[in-house]
Amino acid sequence: MIYNIKRDHARFRSIVKGKIKQDLKKYVTHGEMIGRKGKDRVTIPLPQIDIPHFRFGDREQGGVGQGEGKQGDPVGPGEPQPGEGKVGDQPGQHLLEVDLTLQELAEILGEQLELPKIEPRGHKTLKSKKERYTGIANQGPSSLRHFKRTFRETLRRQISSGIYDPDHPVIIPIRRDMRYRSWKTDVRHENNAVIIYMMDVSGSMGDEQKEIVRTEAFWIDTWLRSQYKGIETRYIIHDATAREVDEDTFFKTRESGGTLISSAYKLCEKIIETDYPPSDWNIYPFHFSDGDNWSGEDTRLCLDILDKTLLQVCNVFCYGQVESRYGSGQFFKDLKEHFGNEHDSVILSKIENKEGILQSIKEFLGKGK
């Protein structure tokens, strides 16, 4: 008798998605989603979805409360009452929070930036197993009893042994006739991919720069995850030396000292060599820096590594240069000079400030590699 609320719910969800798509730039720029990320979903605050009314300003109003306390004591926000609700009782005024799966978020990003689907390369070597109840067995628990097959089996037995009487069609299964559902293991081959993030953490990379890298990495992650089933991420930080770290350290570390970009590239090379054979893996190295390398010599070494190994094994190599007050941005120029504007597997992007993040994501992922 109850009207199906699911339709209204679906309608609401699609409005929410539309709203997020519309304001995607704001959400990306503010980076507020990252802190709200769960395992496979994000919680997004939506300020402006409610239906407007003429009303008093929030701060103006005040009200009546109850309890201990003297004049000037702070009053916490009111809790919604437990217990009985009443017809026509509106939920209290609060900021609306909605959950989106990362998949949905990736779809929104993809639609808004018009990102092409990635054509995976390499063999589908990652095996994933899935159990599906498609088979039939002679034994099993009665909860998995397959009525139709059991019936058929009994019918067959009764006909073949001459017990079956068409005028009096009684079917009596015996133990031998019983059939049960059973599972078969499906092996699926999937594409797999690895993202290797490298970041310059030398003294010239400030908090703001790291925030930009963090935001950008979140969105790149979200997109690539929607494209590949099995995805791994590795993190490398470097100043004059490079080391592999976990995600948390990656975004929080601040070192001082010089910058030898080649150190990171070498480590990256090593990781790929040991763990990710290029024939089986889609490999995405991302490097973020403010573009200050120690010497021209080291830059030449970097270009060498790129040419000889990294570019041979990667789907695409992405370099994002975050503007900072101290960086000269020379590395970007060097790469550009060497690879030109339209290299097949090198994407260069300059991120001037938070506003530039969205554009940069589009540059990185817009090629569909």
- Which residue is associated with the tokens 């037995």? 157
Spatial separation of the C-alpha atoms in residues 331 and 60, rounded to whole Å: 55
Q: In terms of residues, how long is the chain? A: 369
Q: Tell me the C-alpha distance between 117 and 233, whole Å.
A: 20
Please say whether the beta carbons of 120 and 228 come within 8 A. yes
CB of 8 to other proteins, least distance (A): 3
Distance CA 31, CA 211 (A): 8
By beta-carbon proximity to other proteins, the closer residue of 91 and 162 is: 91
Query: For residue 209, which of 219, 218, 199 has the smallest C-alpha distance?
Result: 199
Q: Which is nearer to other proteins, 10 or 137 (CB)?
A: 10
Residue 117 to residue 223: CA distance in whole angstroms: 10
The one among 1, 95, 170, 187 contacting other proteins by CB under 8 A: 1
CB of 81 to other proteins, least distance (A): 6
CB of 45 to other proteins, least distance (A): 13
Binding of residue 68 to other proteins (CB under 8 A): yes
Q: How far is the CB of 95 from other proteins (least distance, A)?
A: 11
Is 66 or 161 the residue whose CB approaches other proteins more closely? 66
By CB under 8 A, name the one of 35, 39, 40, 72 that touches other proteins: 72
Letters for 24-63 (x = contact with other proteins by CB under 8 A, - = none) are -------------------------x-xxxxxxxxxxxxx
Region for 140 from its dihedrals, namely left if φ exceeds 0, alpha if ψ lies in -120 to 50, beta otherwise: left
Question: Are the C-beta atoms of residues 27 and 78 closer than 8 Å to each other?
Answer: no
Which string of x and - marks every residue 82-111 that binds other proteins (by CB under 8 A)?
Answer: xxxxxxxx-x----x-xx------------
| Residue 199 bridge partners (DSSP) | 237, 288
Which of 130, 124, 47 is closest to 93 using CA atoms?
Answer: 47
Give which of 276, 320, 284 is closest to 195, Cα–Cα: 284
Whichever of 5 and 170 has its CB closer to other proteins, that residue is 5
Residue type, 140: G
**Cβ closest to other proteins, residue 50 vs residue 208:** 50
The one-character DSSP state at 314 is: -
Euclidean distance between CA atoms 310 and 346, whole angstroms: 10
Which range of residues in 5-13, 260-268, 303-311, 346-354 is near other proteins by CB under 8 A?
5-13
| Min dist. Cβ of residue 30 to other proteins (A) | 19
CB closer to other proteins out of 98 and 240: 98
Closer of 64 and 172 to other proteins (Cβ):
64
**Rounded least distance, CB 94 to other proteins, Å:** 9
Q: Which two tokens stand for residue 116?
A: 């092409």
By CB under 8 A, how many residues form the interface with other proteins?
A: 57
Select 5 or 187, whichever has its Cβ closest to other proteins: 5
Separation CA 280–CA 141 (nearest Å): 41
Q: Candidates 76-84, 153-161, 184-192, 315-323: pick the segment binding other proteins (CB under 8 A).
A: 76-84
Closest CA to 279 of 90, 135, 120: 120
User: Site residues (CB under 8 A) for other proteins?
Assistant: 1-5, 7-13, 15, 49, 51-89, 91, 96, 98-99
